[in-house]
Amino acid sequence: MQVALVLHIRNSLVAAASEGARYAATIDRGPADGAERTRELIESSLADRFADDVTASQTRVDGYPGIEVDVSANVPTLGLWGPAITLHVSGHAVEEQTP
């Protein structure tokens, strides 16, 4: 049961980071917008405590300008008060360019 919970949290964090990177990569947005969007998604789908360590930065994705959103979160492995593991996930997106 706990393995399924950890996987659910991991998959939700990956989805939020990926969506945050795509959001930040649009022409009128930047890394800070992506980090904020990621936090909002995590807080609404999981819990606020999983959104404490979210960062976003410019990077290169296959040689093109892009955005990377990184999330680190401590996830309990044996119930709410048991030992935790730290998950590190990231999402990437190529930035939109003006024609």
At 79 the pLDDT is 64
Residue labelled with tokens 């360019």: 97
pLDDT higher than 80, residue 78: no
| pTM of this structure | 0.91
pLDDT higher than 60, residue 1: no
With contact defined as beta carbons under 8 Å apart, do 13 and 88 qualify? no
DSSP 4-62: HHHHHHHHHHHHHHHHHHHHHTSTT--HHHHHHHHHHHHHHHS-GGGGSEEEEEEEEET
> pLDDT (tens digit, 9 = 90+) per residue, 40-65?
999 999 999 999 999 999 999 999 99
Sequence ranges of the domains in the chain: 2-94
pLDDT higher than 70, residue 32: yes
pLDDT higher than 90, residue 76: no
